[in-house]
Structure 1
Amino acid sequence: MSESLPLVLDGAAARLAAERLLNLRSSSGDRVEFALPPSTVALEPGDRIALAGLSEGPFEITEIRDGSVRQVTAGAVPRGDAIATGVDRPSGSATLAVPPVTPLVLAAQLPPLPADPTRSRLVLGAFADPWPGLVRVSDATTGAALASLSRPAAIGTVLTDVSAGPPARWDRGTSLEIRLLAGHLADVEPGSALAGSNRIAVETDAGQWEIIGFAKAELTGAGQYRLTQLLRGLDGSEAAMGPVSAGRRVLVLDNRAATLPVEPHWIGESRTIRFSAGDAVAMETVSIETGPVRPLSPVHLKAARQPDGAIALRWTRRSRADADGWGIAEPALEHVPEAWQVEIFDGGTPVRTLVSGSPTADYALADQIVDFGGAASAFTFAVTQMSAVLGAGQAAMGAFNV
């Protein structure tokens, strides 16, 4: 059990409080309910009683409901035998020489959070055994302090090869086996996984980072877990999905890792991050790319022929700020001015490019005759949102058939 209170205690008082909590916990499940005649008015809540034939007890009356009979509820009284052990003593003056330990470090660029949709984030973690107490993170070029890590991050590696999975829905046919150097994973309810619990960042073979959620975590060995009921490509990372080979790095996304917003002027640069643990120093170089902040691919692509022979192409844009919402409101426009590019393909060959300032485009009959020799009967098309700063976003594929 745990309690979170604004208290400052010495070691003995803290241990005594903990043992009292455990005593209370151990006896809280013992409860009796019984009825007494109305004449037993002398009994009141807070009185202690013993019941013949029950080895448990004594019991303290917690509730009385009066009526034709007195309905009494009583709970077991805590034993009250908590003792304070391990009384604080002043530490000895002798000091032990602790060798410097170079930490294992990791820096991953991830897509933005909904609260800050225009800036990607660097997630920083370090692990060392023994833990040096504090790892200071700074920019190796400028010396600017970036973060301080007070706890070892849950860093690990992938144990078995994994292929890309379906984004935005449960991947129940794939398992992900990992080994962690620190930390512990546990099952959560599917609703909790959908709401944001159990998130890890996995490095793909392309050097990008996919965010994966999971509902089931099976301990298979010392620090080894088999993760199932996966949610792939979360938080706008579906474009990073790809094959993952054994040995690729893993980071559990929790409060043991530090998060640093990526400033716009960092994009396109390589940053060397310095992790200092006392006299020991580790470096990690990370390339800040546009991929995690490029416009998301649109959804709900549709194509329908109009009475004049033109084909109306329609789609719905997405926003990193809506946190995967399912409301009826139009997603926020993050990239201004709004611009779209539509490529028409005959088989695998591009035959025409359309541009639009809204999530619609018309493929005129005259253009179809030029591209296909007549009214198009079947083709595929790719829709991409364009950013004046970041360039082309992630494309979505659609198809038209008569």
Structure 2
Amino acid sequence: MATLVLTTVGRAIGGPIGGALGALAGQAIDGRLFRGAAREGPRLTELAVQTSSYGTQIPRLFGTMRVAGTVIWSTDLIETRSTSRSGKGQPGTNTYSYAASFAVALSARPIVGVRRIWAEGKLLRGAAGDWKGRTGFRLHTGSEDQVADPLIASAMGVTPAYRGLAYAVFEGMQLADYGHRIPSLTFEVVADAGVVTSGDVAAALAPEVMSGAGGRAVGNGGMTLGGFAAAGASMRGVLDTLAVLEGSWWQPDGGRLMRRSDAGAAVVVTDAGFGAPRRRRTVAALETAPREVAVAHHDPARDYQIGVQRVRRPGAGTRIDRVELPAVLDAGAAKGVAAALVARGEAERTRRRVTLGIEGIGVAPGAIVAVAGEAGRWRVASSSVVGLATTLDLVPLAAMPVAARASSGAVLAAPDLVAGRTLLMAAELPALGDAPLATPRVCVWAAGSGAGWRQAALLYSLDEGASWTAAGGTAAPAVIGRIEVAPVATAAWLADRRSRAVVALARPDMVLGDADAAMLAQGANLALLGDELVQFARAEPLGGGRWALSDLLRGLRGTETAIGTQRAGNRFALIEPDGVASIALPVSAIGRRLRVLASGTGDAEPVEATIVVSGASVAPPAPVHVSANDLPDGGLVIAWTRRSRAGWSWIDGADVPLAEEAERYRVTVTAGGEERIVDVDGPRLVLSAAARPRGAAVIAIVQHGTLASSPPVRLFLDAGA
């Protein structure tokens, strides 16, 4: 397959300058305006890959373009070490993170701003200006009063302001998501506000070569573009590219070049036939024209990624040409360019030569002529003068690009979800596994006010903010919210068929689901309602992020003492294995206030949650099945059943393990305004007839654990007992 570089000149479909710059004035203009022999214009590949090579050309951008840019300055990797400990005297764990600061040149002419930024194909900055990753960012638009970037200046000492060059500076970009290296970035750059045409671009690049030339006049004329990137080995190649876009060509006009199109007026010439046969016409074989033309372009429907539109003609031939347009065109316009190039290639197989007298010397290459007595309009491809005779080589005019029906194909755009502010919740819960904890542990749930939130960094303090300890990051986005209608107070030992708790989730797109008996047995739909752990079998959507929960299992993991304490506005959190982060604390944290800070990409300031560490995560659950029975001698025996913070599954049917260093209880007997405390080492207390309370009494039993004590269980005795 032949590849047609846009800036290749002299080809049948790609050489508007080569044909226009004839022997008369072309060499002089080319030598003055286009330095160097190469006619290379911009390539799509130059805009797709971020580079850092010295001497790399930086394009001049127009309209809105997506470009990769060139890294012009960077620091070495910046390593940060953080140490976390699970408790006093425990060995610390060092974790390392890496960041880098660098600058990326975007345009060799001033720009208006930058919208979206992609890193490795995923959005780093969204359309709303929100950041999906952690980095500092400054944009220098390339104005003539631009000052030096303070970070580069502090690192390099004397540094230029790069006036006229638009560039972006990233400060302290976190590299964990990119393999600890600077990622490949692309930028949606807005270089000009409003409509940009190919004529505008040409006038800005080389105002000395432009003048009005007919055609579709919008601004400076030409095709309306979403954006254009001017680069390449020569200005000549860039102008060639612009001419291909709009189906025009360039014609010498004194010391300038004038853009011409088939809409211009024709000069009528008479073929005098001096020195040659009159009306000589040749037609090349169809195989010499391209059978297919593929136009590659930046497609706005594909987030400015490269799209390719193909047009194929019927008939003989195998030649396929590929045209690379560093311009933003919709699919229909690009297909129209391809169709026009196919038509031009087929039409320009025909050549017509006319010979004029001395009057023909004023007809320059690029002029539009009509031959007297013949139909059709022609473009002068070249001219020569021998003696008094002027010979013109003509090619028929081809159709200009027109919009055509086309598809951009399947678009796999990077999702642009706003992260929003971090929503944080913290609670100390009983251990959620069968193994007891050795130190206190606080659970942390986090989500974002926007669906794009993914994670936040955690810090905690036990000394009212005098010092902070890194606690890693949050877990996967959690399903959290608030209680609207609390469940009713009921016993913890039976399934609750009466309650219909209503919760409002933090975002409408958060969802809950049902669970059957087998799923519940495996721990599904475990949730925190206030301070009570429950499981729900049914979740009914009420709309707007509100859900009704029913068929509840109440007071799980020893939280039955919280039944009936919930109020509207209390917390709700779905407990999923990948949605809960935990902070291990020293034993000395029990009884102290814990402050937790979370900082995500959408947080202008860290978000804080505060709780008092009660020791609930390391305390045994309260005893159960308390009974009081009279003894024959008038005494009273109080008995209960021990529970354990280990072996919740009770898979062997035997007594649960103790999970504490010793079995110890404190029994408090309150009667008649007096309180008596008795410590025992078994699940039984015998009171003599003299020691038993008279009248109404309250008996509270607490199990002492190794690290903390259980909540009390209470037995009420009436006055007649």
TM-score in terms of structure 2 length: 0.38
Partner of 1:99: 130
CA–CA distance in structure 1, aligned partners of residues 436 and 67 of structure 2: 49
Partner of 2:539: 217
Partner of 2:497: 172
CA–CA distance in structure 1, aligned partners of residues 656 and 422 of structure 2: 43
SS in 2 for 1:365: coil
Partner of 1:186: 513
RMSD, aligned CA = 3.2
**Pick aligned residue for 1:196 from 515, 519, 523:** 523
CA–CA distance in structure 1, aligned partners of residues 510 and 609 of structure 2: 22
Partner of 1:9: none
SS in 1 for 2:609: strand
Higher relative contact order (CA 8 A, sep 6+): 1
Partner of 1:155: 480
Once the two structures are superposed, residues 89-115 of structure 1 have per-residue CA deviations (whole angstroms, 9 ceiling, x without a partner) of 989646255335431211122122332
Once the two structures are superposed, residues 250-294 of structure 1 have per-residue CA deviations (whole angstroms, 9 ceiling, x without a partner) of 111112232333432221222222212137232222221234543
CA radius of gyration, larger in: 2
- How far residue 227 of structure 1 moved from its aligned partner, in angstroms, is 0.4
CA–CA distance in structure 2, aligned partners of residues 326 and 301 of structure 1: 24
Letter in 2 for 1:395: V
Equivalent pairs, count: 302
Percentage identity across aligned positions?
25
SS in 1 for 2:556: coil
CA–CA distance in structure 2, aligned partners of residues 92 and 232 of structure 1: 58
CA–CA distance in structure 2, aligned partners of residues 187 and 266 of structure 1: 38
Partner of 1:138: 459
Partner of 1:320: 645
**In 2 relative to 1, CA 186–393 (structure 1 residues): closer, same or farther, beyond 3 Å?**
closer
Residues 25-174 of structure 1 aligned to structure 2 (within 5 Å): 93=68, 95=117, 96=125, 98-99=129-130, 101-113=420-432, 114-128=434-448, 129-139=450-460, 141=465, 142-149=467-474, 151-174=476-499
Check if 1:361 corresponds to 2:679: no
**In 1, are the aligned partners of 2:457 and 2:472 still within 8 Å (CA)?**
yes
Letter in 2 for 1:386: H
Partner of 2:594: 271
Partner of 2:567: 245
**In 1, are the aligned partners of 2:557 and 2:621 still within 8 Å (CA)?**
no
**In 2 relative to 1, CA 320–235 (structure 1 residues): closer, same or farther, beyond 3 Å?**
same
**In 2, are the aligned partners of 1:387 and 1:393 still within 8 Å (CA)?**
no
Residues 373-388 of structure 1 aligned to structure 2 (within 5 Å): 381-387=699-705
Q: Which deviates more, 212-221 or 233-242?
A: 233-242
CA–CA distance in structure 2, aligned partners of residues 326 and 302 of structure 1: 26
CA–CA distance in structure 2, aligned partners of residues 275 and 351 of structure 1: 45
Letter in 2 for 1:364: S
Unmatched tracts of structure 2, length 5 or more: 1-47, 50-65, 69-115, 118-124, 132-419
CA–CA distance in structure 1, aligned partners of residues 569 and 700 of structure 2: 35
Unmatched tracts of structure 1, length 5 or more: 1-88, 204-208
**In 2, are the aligned partners of 1:111 and 1:120 still within 8 Å (CA)?**
no
**Pick aligned residue for 1:231 from 544, 548, 553:** 553
CA–CA distance in structure 2, aligned partners of residues 265 and 303 of structure 1: 37
Letter in 1 for 2:700: A
- How far residue 172 of structure 1 moved from its aligned partner, in angstroms, is 0.8
- How far residue 157 of structure 1 moved from its aligned partner, in angstroms, is 1.5
**In 2, are the aligned partners of 1:384 and 1:396 still within 8 Å (CA)?**
no
**In 2 relative to 1, CA 177–132 (structure 1 residues): closer, same or farther, beyond 3 Å?**
closer
